[in-house]
Chains A and B, each alone.
Chain A
Amino acid sequence: EVQLVESGGGLVQPGGSLRLSCAASGFTFSSYWMSWVRQAPGKGLEWVANIKQDGSEKYYVDSVKGRFTISRDNAKNSLYLQMNSLRAEDTAVYYCAREARTDYDIFQIDYWGQGTLVTVSS
């Protein structure tokens, strides 16, 4: 059974930093692209970042470029999101997600963790 378990969320002041972790199990972690997706309270979903199987490629939504860094440790089956210079608008539940190749040879998110809440407030 695929399991993705996020941790590391909490309350942080504007301008502060936080590191999210995601522990993966039930599949060969090193074979998959992985993503972070966030959801502000009462709002819709926003893709944040993703990373290639070997960590050699990383992509970000424009609003977090230069502030957030996605990384992974395949030996530990873990995904990370380092968040710096946090803003109030970064307040959201952050989901770890797996991306699977589809019949059209693109990737689509097929499994999600339960999420961890990040609150940026003074």
Chain B
Amino acid sequence: SQTIHQWPATLVQPVGSPLSLECTVEGTSNPNLYWYRQAAGRGLQLLFYSVGIGQISSEVPQNLSASRPQDRQFILSSKKLLLSDSGFYLCAWSLQRTNEKLFFGSGTQLSVL
């Protein structure tokens, strides 16, 4: 069965520090991968999506970047965090051929102080 791992679960970082959030998927090949951000208990804002290794599309201009160094690994990064980067970050995957369902990780609560 497929599983998705996302870590860390919580993170407190000072303004101006770097960020690296990692997401890995097991049990499937060549998935679509996504990074979403969620403001306190509200809807999901798509940040990045990827259809293959090294293929990253960005939905909104921002202080963040994403990379996909391996088929089932998706990394969200920042060189210098801003206060506005605080939020709940969710990684998700879907099957390439149907893309009907998204399977989410358990999320990372990032607080930038």
Chains A and B are bound partners? no
- Please report A residues at the B interface, Cβ cutoff 8 Å: none
- Please report B residues at the A interface, Cβ cutoff 8 Å: none
